[in-house]
Amino acid sequence: MKKVLLGMSGGVDSSVSAILLKEQGYDVIGITLELFGGTCCNTDAIVGAKQICNSIGIPHITYNLKEEFQCKVINNFIDEYSNQRTPNPCIECNKYMKFGAMYEKAKELGCDYIATGHYAKMEYSDEYGKYVLRKAKNLSKDQSYVLYNMPKQLLGKVLFPLGDFESKEDVRKIAKEHNLSVASKPDSEDICFIPDGNYKKFLEQNSSIVPKEGNIVNRKGEILGRHTGLYNYTIGQRKGLGISYKAPLFVIGFNKERNEVIVGEQQELYRKEMKVNEVNLLLMDKIERTLDVTVKIRYASKPAEAIINQTEAGNIQVIFKEPQRGITPGQSAVFYIGDVVVGGGKIQD
């Protein structure tokens, strides 16, 4: 019997994943990572996950990773905002916690696989002659975007039991059939360590970042208004600028040295090219030639057609077929061929 370590948050997706894996004949161990104390990893979540495991007859353990989470995820979040970049902490958490530390724990426990309740698929591809990461069948729930940064050696060693579900209601139906208390539990959409969604307050209370007023300028350097601190603004932001102008204005960039927020009209938000660093490729070791792909520049964006090539330094140059709105440094760009994840990286300034 193959043994699998399943990450459990106390939510419906990971709980149903436990049921499905057990029904498929796996020897399942549930694990809840103690990360911060937010919505997905607090005491209630641990108790809830343990109760679910008891009700379906599998063991449950906890794993304290608070120090690692602070170092790899929270400190990165603060550093990125300090440098006017917009991070995605879920991607860092997946890389270092779920597919890093949790995988190491799985090996310690003699497990053959790890599993999570993410909506994605891991399948062997005859076309590529290897295991590949694919989009979930339910594209509206697909989470392959936040999984591109997993270590390549995990291909074929991760199970995603929810990858072929057509709707979230089908998942909830299984939970109800097994009388799970989480069957109607709402989805968590906030950053786990900022449950109230107020990242500005979090930064002020947990870092050396303090409000420092400065000028809001256009590309010509003309002063149009005042800002309350660079970290309070993101690329594409329109609300809260407090500027009266002949046309709507949006944040299009920053000048950290001069402590300036740069604004422009809507057409100035569009770019046809970008560079990506901190690259992680899953489908190949290196992009040897120009590759036609689709690209997601943020979790909720529609895939856009582009060509990519890799420089000698390992970075990737992206040229879009059509200009894209609001390309944001610090966010991840993820590349696909069809529904297969090629890889991705961080959008550069």
Mean pLDDT across 270-295: 97
| Candidate list 40, 90, 111, 192, residue with the active-site label | 192
Distance in angstroms (rounded) separating the CA atoms of residues 7 and 60:
10
Strand partners, 34: 64
- Average pLDDT of span 274-293: 96
Report the pLDDT value the prediction gives residue 42, as an integer from 0 to 100.
62
Tokens in use for 339?
């529904």
Cα dihedral 193→197→199→200 (10° resolution): -140
CATH number for 212-264: choose from 3.40.50.280, 1.10.1060.10, 2.60.120.10, 2.30.30.280. 2.30.30.280
Question: 75-82 and 199-206 are packed helices; what angle lies between their axes, rounded to 10 degrees?
Answer: 100
The residue that leads in pLDDT, 248 or 196, is: 248
What does the domain layout of the chain look like in residue ranges? 3-177, 212-264, 270-347
Write the Ramachandran bin of 297: left for phi over 0, alpha for psi from -120 to 50, otherwise beta.
Answer: alpha
> Is 192 marked active-site?
yes
Pairing label, strands 250-255, 291-296? unpaired
Q: 282, 125 in Cβ contact below 8 A?
A: no
In this prediction, residue 195 carries a pLDDT of 82
For residues 204-220, give the mean pLDDT: 94
Q: Return all residues near 341 (Cβ < 8 A) that are at least 6 apart.
A: 132, 133, 134, 135, 144, 147, 148, 282, 283, 334, 335
C-alpha–C-alpha distance, residues 63 and 55, integer Å: 21
Helix (H) or strand (E) segment spanning residue 104: helix 102-108
Q: 96 by DSSP, 3-state: which?
A: helix
> One of 40, 53, 90, 93 is an active-site residue; which one?
93
At 45, is the pLDDT very low, low, confident or very high (cuts 50, 70, 90)? Answer: confident
Q: How many CB atoms lie within 10 A of CB 319?
A: 12
Q: In this predicted structure, what is the pLDDT of residue 37?
A: 63
- Compute the average pLDDT of residues 229-245: 93
Is pLDDT at 186 greater than 70 in this prediction? yes
Could you give the 3-state DSSP secondary structure of residue 147?
Answer: helix
53 in catalytic set = no
Structure tokens at 275: 């560079």
* pLDDT band with cut points at 50, 70 and 90 for residue 267: very high
pLDDT band at 182 (very low <50, low <70, confident <90, very high): confident
Q: Dihedral of CA 230/234/235/238: which sign?
A: negative
SS3 per residue for 132-146: EEEECCCCCCCCHHH
Instruction: Tell me, rounded to whole angstroms, the distance of Cα 322 from its chain centroid.
Output: 25
DSSP of 195-255: TT--HHHHHHHHSS-----EEEE-TT--EEEEES-GGG--TT--TT-----SS--EEEEEE
Report the phi/psi class of residue 12: left, alpha or beta, with left for phi > 0 and alpha for psi in -120 to 50: alpha
Tokens of 240: 């809260």
Name the percent of the chain lying above pLDDT 90: 87
pLDDT(239) > 90: yes
CA gap 26, 111 in Å, rounded? 10
Mean pLDDT value across the chain: 94
Q: What pLDDT, on the 0 to 100 scale, is given for residue 54?
A: 93
User: What is the arithmetic mean of pLDDT over 261-278?
Assistant: 97
What is the CATH superfamily name and number for domain 3-177? Answer: HUPs (3.40.50.620)
What are the pLDDT digits (tens) for 56-100? 999 999 999 999 999 999 999 999 999 999 999 999 999 999 999
Query: Class for domain 270-347, per CATH?
Result: mainly beta
Q: How confident is the model at residue 39 (pLDDT cuts 50, 70, 90)?
A: very low
Q: What average pLDDT does range 173-196 have in this prediction?
A: 84
Mean pLDDT of 304-331: 96
Q: Evaluate if residue 191 carries a pLDDT over 90.
A: no
Average pLDDT, stretch 291-320?
Answer: 96
Tokens linked to 249: 């204005």
